[in-house]
């Protein structure tokens, strides 16, 4: 008998009928002889509705109280799922994050898990119960309730799987697996049967919304096999593992993209030893995530610095830079919004030179201008006009033959 962790997202538990469907899927796993821990998100758009309620009172609600408010959504889901499983003749118990022993940092709204005291879960499993844990939440050592930020339920599930030394963790979603790109936008997108941890981590960080990056990090660090599966269709999904089980027939295995990107350019920045560290330290302290960075020397004494951010962070970024203008001594700041990032990912790039050139050629052939570039061993990211984002994705998907599935290329 092994331990299987299953995670179901908000759409998977968005109605009573869907909760009943989840209960059936859980019982199928029990009937295979496994012990099961289930992690669930809040029903449907419950979290969004709770945020709206708070914003009707104030646009700047206290973060501690927001955590108290938002964690109630998952409590509804876990209780209803426990009731559904019990009604089908199986023993089940629901636990909030803190009841499940999930310990986090003392940061409200985006806490990280630091430990899981899993003795209680083990005891309940050994008593023959299905343990249903609220995702997205935990508690500090001072018993303050915290939330884990966007995608927190994925992280909860994988962290619990690591703590319990589970055989695998299944992530159930409204799609059947990980696709070469988002099939809602590119009709020729195809499901991949397996993806490496590193490839999935890049895709998740670059905008693919199937899995949260923190969850993939946990899985890689603790060697937890993941499978992204459909909560509706009973079909095989996509395995995320250390070494993918098939030969890398596709050099590029996926394309990720995200909109609402802004490029910020600082002109006439003195070439001091600490100029760059000062700028990015100030931005980091204000929670501003900087992505692509380009530095160009204009003379021995001055440089221009460009970097990309999320458009939602533009106002705060400009404020931080302006407040430090006298100390940094730069001449001016420019910004360009209405941009998007399009990235190709694939471990096959390591041993295949010329992939970036092929990418730029495909974009140029489709009259798409590249404004910024960032590379790593297994990815190339470009910033393009937001209005041409999907066109760029379609062009690259065709250029790298991603409409062909792995089986078709074997």
Two structure tokens written together for 404: 């062909």
Locus of tokens 């939330």: 147
> What are residue 90's phi and psi, to 5 degrees?
-120, 150
pLDDT means over runs of 10, the chain (410 residues): 93 95 96 97 94 95 96 97 98 97 94 95 97 97 92 94 95 92 92 92 88 90 93 90 62 93 95 89 91 89 94 95 92 96 92 90 97 93 97 96 58
CATH number assigned to the domain comprising residue 56: 3.40.1160.10
* Secondary element (H or E) of residue 161: helix 152-164
Q: Which of 204, 176, 179, 186 is nearest to 405 (CA)?
A: 179
**pLDDT at position 273, please?**
78
Residue 46: inside a domain, yes or no?
A: yes
DSSP state of 108: S
Residue 386: inside a domain, yes or no?
A: no
Residue 151: inside a domain, yes or no?
A: yes
Residue 304: inside a domain, yes or no?
A: no
- Helix (H, G, I), strand (E, B), or coil: what is residue 308? strand
d(CA 93, CA 95): 7
State pTM to two decimals: 0.85
**pLDDT at position 244, please?**
64
Residue 374: inside a domain, yes or no?
A: no
Residue 228: inside a domain, yes or no?
A: no
**pLDDT at position 246, please?**
46
C-alpha separations of 85 from 9, 80, 131, 182 in Å: 17, 9, 11, 33
Residue 32: inside a domain, yes or no?
A: yes
**53-83: pLDDT as tens digits:** 999 999 999 999 999 999 999 999 999 999 9
C-beta atoms surrounding 240 within 10 Å: 30
C-alpha gyration radius of the chain: 23
Domain extent, residue 160, equals 3-174
Strand order from edge to edge, sheet including 332-345: 293-297, 302-310, 254-270, 332-345, 379-385, 372-376
Residue 354: inside a domain, yes or no?
A: no
Total residues belonging to the chain: 410
C-alpha separations of 365 from 33, 118, 362, 368, 369 in Å: 55, 55, 5, 8, 10
Query: Structurally, how many domains does the chain consist of?
Result: 1
């Amino acid at each position: 008998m092994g331990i299987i962790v299953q995670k179901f997202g908000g759409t998977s538990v968005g109605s009573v009928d869907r909760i009943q469907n989840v209960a059936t899927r859980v019982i199928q796993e029990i009937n295979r002889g496994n012990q099961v821990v289930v992690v669930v998100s809040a029903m449907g758009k419950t979290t969004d509705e709770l945020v709206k309620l708070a914003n009707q009172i104030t646009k700047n609600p206290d973060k501690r109280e927001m955590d108290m408010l938002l964690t109630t959504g998952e409590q509804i889901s876990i209780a209803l799922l426990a009731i559904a499983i019990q009604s089908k003749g199986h023993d089940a118990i629901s636990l909030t994050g803190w009841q499940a022993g999930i310990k986090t940092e003392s940061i409200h709204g985006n806490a990280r898990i630091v430990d899981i005291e899993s003795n209680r879960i083990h005891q309940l499993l050994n008593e023959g119960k299905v343990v249903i844990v609220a995702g997205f939440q935990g508690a500090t050592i001072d018993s303050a309730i915290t939330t884990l930020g966007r995608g927190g339920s994925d992280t909860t599930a994988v962290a619990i799987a690591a703590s319990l030394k589970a055989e695998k963790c299944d992530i159930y979603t409204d799609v059947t697996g990980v696709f070469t790109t988002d099939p809602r936008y590119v009709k020729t997108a195809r499901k991949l049967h397996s993806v490496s941890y590193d490839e999935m981590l890049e895709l998740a960080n670059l905008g693919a919304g199937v899995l949260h990056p923190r969850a993939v990090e946990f899985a890689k660090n603790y060697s937890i096999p993941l499978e992204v599966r459909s909560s509706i269709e009973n079909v095989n999904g996509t395995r995320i593992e250390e070494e993918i089980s098939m030969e890398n027939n596709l050099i590029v295995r996926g394309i990720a993209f995200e909109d609402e990107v802004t490029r910020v350019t600082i002109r006439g920045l003195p070439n001091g030893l600490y100029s760059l560290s000062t700028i990015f330290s100030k931005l980091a302290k204000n929670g501003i995530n900087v992505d692509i960075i380009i530095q160009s020397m204009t003379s021995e004494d001055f440089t221009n610095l460009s970097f990309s951010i999320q458009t939602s962070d533009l106002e705060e970024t400009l404020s931080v830079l302006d407040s430090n203008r006298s100390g940094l001594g730069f001449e001016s700041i420019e910004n360009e919004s209405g941009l998007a990032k399009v990235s190709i990912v694939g471990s096959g790039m390591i041993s295949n030179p010329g992939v970036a050139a092929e990418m730029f050629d495909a974009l140029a052939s489709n009259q798409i201008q590249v404004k910024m570039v960032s590379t790593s061993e297994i990815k190339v990211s470009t910033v393009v006009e937001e209005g041409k984002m999907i066109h760029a994705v379609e062009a690259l998907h065709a250029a790298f033959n991603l409409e062909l599935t792995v089986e078709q290329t074997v």
